[in-house]
A and B are shown apart, each in its own frame.
Chain A
Amino acid sequence: AQSVTQLDSQVPVFEEAPVELRCNYSSSVSVYLFWYVQYPNQGLQLLLKYLSGSTLVKGINGFEAEFNKSQTSFHLRKPSVHISDTAEYFCAVSVGGATNKLIFGTGTLLAVQP
């Protein structure tokens, strides 16, 4: 069965500093990987996705993530964060084929401080 682990429940960081949010997954088959962002009292918004091809994926708002198959990781990075990046970030995995079922991690709260 597929699963997603986000080890950090909360990541405090100062504005303009770099940040990395960690995500590890387990799966015995090929997967698609996603990062979603959830602002307070809002639904989830797709930041970026990995389906195939280049392991470095660029998304919206200056975020990027790198797929590492040997380490089964898909860490999210941003070189310089803003106050407006404060939100909950969810990593998710989907097994291809007919299921299209997203398995989410428990989320990481990115708290950007001035």
Chain B
Amino acid sequence: EAGVVQSPRYKIIEKKQPVAFWCNPISGHNTLYWYRQNLGQGPELLIRYENEEAVDDSQLPKDRFSAERLKGVDSTLKIQPAELGDSAVYLCASSLDQWFSGGNSYNEQFFGPGTRLTVL
């Protein structure tokens, strides 16, 4: 079974330029996540989709970042315009929600290899 696919793997751009990252989740996974991982840090959630709906985008800098997940499958994350501080690895993950009795849920998130963005 194919894992989470991300492209491109590496991207170098000048500041103020736009950039886009693409993610194709594991087939059948209904939940998709975008994380940003700064150098020497753990990943931080930017946005979470359940099917086509963005259910948590509280950490997404909406002035320059946007995301979409049309048809509830693959997703695109865009930055326009990029700033020096946006240099990081952008990780995509997907999961198939599983629910325990009592309303609690657990879902294993499967991560893609990431896109390493360098803004000059």
In the complex, B24 has a CB within 8 A of chain A:
no
- A90-B42, A104-B44, A107-B40 are contacts. A97–B104 as well, Cβ < 8 Å? yes
In the complex, B45 has a CB within 8 A of chain A:
yes
In the complex, A42 has a CB within 8 A of chain B:
yes
Least Cβ distance of B93 to chain A in Å? 8
In the complex, A7 has a CB within 8 A of chain B:
no
Least Cβ distance of B39 to chain A in Å? 11
Point out which of B31, B43, B93, B107 has the most chain A C-beta atoms below 10 A from its C-beta: B43
How would residues 11 to 55 of chain B score, 1 for a CB under 8 Å from any chain A CB and 0 otherwise? 000000000000000000001000000001111110010000000
Number of interface residues of A (CB under 8 A): 26
Contact A101 B48 (CB under 8 A): yes
CB contacts under 8 Å to B, within A15-64, are 32, 36, 41-46, 49, 51
Least Cβ distance of A14 to chain B in Å? 24
**CA gap between A46 and B97 in the complex, in Å:** 16
Contact A106 B104 (CB under 8 A): no
Contact A107 B105 (CB under 8 A): no
Number of interface residues of B (CB under 8 A): 27
Contact B44 A43 (CB under 8 A): no
- Chain A residues near B105: list those with CB within 8 A: 96-98, 100
Beta-carbon nearest neighbor of A4 in chain B: B42
- Chain A residues near B75: list those with CB within 8 A: none
**23 CB < 8 A contacts A-B:** A36-B111, A41-B116, A43-B93, A43-B111, A43-B112, A44-B91, A44-B93, A44-B111, A49-B106, A96-B105, A99-B56, A100-B31, A100-B95, A100-B105, A100-B106, A100-B107, A101-B45, A101-B56, A102-B45, A102-B109, A104-B43, A104-B44, A107-B40
Query: A-B pairs with the 4 shortest C-beta distances?
Result: A104-B42, A43-B111, A96-B104, A44-B111
- A-side residues, CB < 8 A to B, are 4, 9, 32, 36, 41-46, 49, 51, 90, 92, 94, 96-102, 104-107
